[in-house]
Structure 1
Amino acid sequence: MPIITFNYKGTVSEKENRNLQSRPKNFKEANNYISDRFGFRNEFLKIYSYFPQEKISGNVIYGKQGWLFYTADGNLSDFCKRNISLERAKKFALNLKSMSDWCKENGIIFVAVVAPNKHSVYEEFYILNRPKGKTFMDYCAQETEKL
């Protein structure tokens, strides 16, 4: 049905208050053209609007007030404090110490800065509650101090 009711003639989407993609001149533009004009598009968008926006999709968690949080590469595990391994923290501390020692031997000033994850800075916009307790970086700092 979306093919049969494809919108070939329209130029404006009144519901979205914008111009529709014009006929494609190349393959890149074809996707936008088809997305703008497939049949029952407005009906599908209306159905989609009934679903809650706070959901998990792919590598992103949709947070409060439209915030997006990247969850791949261990970010979700970090938020939930599931990536804590004392062995890994010790290894991190030893690597840091090794780099620091090498720099000191070669007359280089060594400064290590760890940038926080977005969920650590803007925790209040996350839709999940973060568990209490130490983070992986807390354990790394603790192990580094021992060296």
Structure 2
Amino acid sequence: MKNTRLYLLFTFALLSSCHSSHPPIQRTFVAVIVEDMEISSEWYRTHFSLTEYDQRSVPERGLIQSNLINEHLHVELIQLDSAIDLEDSLANYGSNSKVEGLFKIGFVFADLAGFAKKHGHLEQLVHDPVSEAQTLVIKDPDGNRIQLFEK
């Protein structure tokens, strides 16, 4: 009987640990290769209320790196002399051609309409029938798509 109880207790503990929830994500991180650090840094700081945490330059590697943060988001901007311009690489393809990999990233905003109005995107707000909320797709200075969702 004692062995049966230990077996049941062990089994219950094992099953409980398999179904335990993971802690919520505390801060989202994204790294973006950019063409012009100054322009992109200003854009991300302005649009997402980010503060520059640090910036470093490694000239021998052709690298400038800047980390921008706030309570919810950490954006690492990377300017590389060796980066390939995607538009030049796709010049022989149609305008609707896409490359494999990330297509866009998204964030949730409590006041999406306020954000859109502040940054001149109010006319781009659309109602998403799936989420039944407003959404907005914007592009950063390098053409990366960022989709914003209403909370």
TM-score, L = length of structure 1:
0.19
* Bigger Rg, structure 1 or 2: 1
More strand by share: 2
Larger RCO (CA within 8 A; separation ≥ 6): 1
More helix by share: 1
